[in-house]
Amino acid sequence: MRVVTAAFAIAAGIIVLLGYFFPAQLEPLRLLLLDWAVIIAGMAVLVGIFNLVAVQMDKFRTRQKGGVYGIILVVSLLITFLGLGVWVGPNAPSMQFAMNAIIVPVEASLMAILAITLIYASIRILRRRVDVMSIVFLAVAMLFLILIMPTPVGPIPGSQAVLDFLGMFSEGGTRGLLIGIALGTLLTGLRVLFGVDRPYGGS
């Protein structure tokens, strides 16, 4: 059975890939396969939510630390999913209110914590590692912050020229990193297509 699974997965992957290069011949089949994949991914979200509930219930049942929060999460999920999502509909004002009153402020709070965390990490970088790269990293980050900082009298004189000059290095570095990542992604995809890596459960 696992061989059949792998054969289906590899064949689907190859058809979708070749569909990009030979659209005249394979485009309809590629789109059909992608449509199926989108439906399966939609079902995967439901399976994922079931997994989330199971993990939280398990935490509560085995009296692990934070188990009570797990129950609050599950109750909130049921109210939002069944009460607001299924019953009154996702576009109803009450659903919009739940989004604006709970989810947006919580995410904004996490963003605020993130800002503090980043400042703290940058302060501690030289305690963690004292090497040339760390010093350059910190110095450039500070320099960029100063150059783009708003002041009461407008931009700092000459800041744009310095930003343009330093931007050459950062853009070059960025493109180098992205090329490396693209090559890594290409080879990872090839390993899956050749059946060497089988994240879908094959051995």
In the complex, which residues of this chain contact other proteins (CB under 8 A)? 17, 21, 34, 37-38, 40-41, 44-49, 51-52, 54-55, 58, 64-66, 69, 106-107, 110-111, 113-114, 117-118, 120-122, 124-125, 128-129, 137, 174, 176-192, 194, 196-203
Closer to other proteins by CB, 143 or 156: give it: 143
- Compute the least distance from the CB of residue 155 to other proteins, in Å: 24
Mapping DSSP to helix (H, G, I), strand (E, B) and coil, where does residue 171 land?
helix
Closer to other proteins by CB, 145 or 183: give it: 183
Cα(50)–Cα(57) distance, integer angstroms: 10
Closer to other proteins by CB, 167 or 180: give it: 180
* H-state helical runs in 22-158: 23-61, 67-78, 93-98, 104-128, 132-148
Cα(140)–Cα(170) distance, integer angstroms: 10
- Compute the least distance from the CB of residue 1 to other proteins, in Å: 13
**87: Cα separation from own chain's centroid:** 30
- Compute the least distance from the CB of residue 157 to other proteins, in Å: 28
Closer to other proteins by CB, 117 or 160: give it: 117
Going from the C-alpha of 73 to that of each of 20, 102, 105, 111, 122, the distances in angstroms are 42, 13, 17, 21, 33
Cα(73)–Cα(53) distance, integer angstroms: 8
Measured N-to-C along each axis, helices 159-193 and 2-21 cross at an angle, to the nearest 10 degrees, of 130
- Compute the least distance from the CB of residue 151 to other proteins, in Å: 25
From 51, 55, 58, 49, select the one nearest 85 (Cα to Cα): 49
Closer to other proteins by CB, 88 or 183: give it: 183
Could you report how far apart the first and last alpha carbons of the chain are, in Å? 11
- Compute the least distance from the CB of residue 86 to other proteins, in Å: 17
- Compute the least distance from the CB of residue 20 to other proteins, in Å: 8
Closer to other proteins by CB, 53 or 156: give it: 53
